Amino acid sequence: MRPPAIRFLDDTTKYEFGQALPQIEIGGLLYPIYVRGEAYLAKGRGSEAAREYQKLVDNRSVVQNCPLGALAHLGLGRAYTLQGDTQKARTAYQDFFALWKDADPDIPVLIAAKAEYAKLK
């Protein structure tokens, strides 16, 4: 059974890479993809989550500098961890860390990611 958050977001799939108005921040239209990934993660469905996050990773020209682009790498790391694919998880976490190498070290999501990554070793 599909989680309610996923069913709610199903109607957005045909529009998820579109942009109606140039004034809208580009990342605003990518949130349905990211939220679907998060919903799948919350349900422990790693392969479905990875599929959603991979859309963001594969479409960097659309993602541009939206924070969701970097967070998609973190989501991939978490999704691969759920799938038991430690090597892919490590690579995804490393990609996230490379993108956020200059970030404030006290950002909670970065602290959590570092702790998760340490458990993979």
pTM for the structure as a whole: 0.80
pLDDT of residue 65: 79
- Please name the helix (run of DSSP H) or strand (run of DSSP E) that holds residue 15, with its range, or none: none
H-helix segments, 1-121: 4-9, 31-42, 46-58, 60-63, 67-83, 86-99, 108-120
Tell me the per-residue pLDDT of 30-53, one tens digit each, with 9 for 90 and over.
788 898 899 999 999 999 999 999
CATH of region 4-120: 1.25.40.10
**Between 67 and 12, whose confidence is greater?**
67
82 CB neighbour count, 10 Å cutoff: 19
The pLDDT assigned to 33 comes to: 87
CB 9 within 8 A of CB 36: yes
Q: What are the boundaries of each domain within the chain?
A: 4-120
Distance CA 73, CA 119 (A): 17
d(CA 121, CA 109) in angstroms, rounded, equals: 19
Please identify which residue in the block is written with the tokens 């990518």.
30
Residues 79 and 53: beta-carbon distance below 8 Å: yes
CA distance 97 to 15: 30
Q: Which of 11, 71, 79 is nearest to 43 (CA)?
A: 79
pLDDT beyond 60 at 79: yes
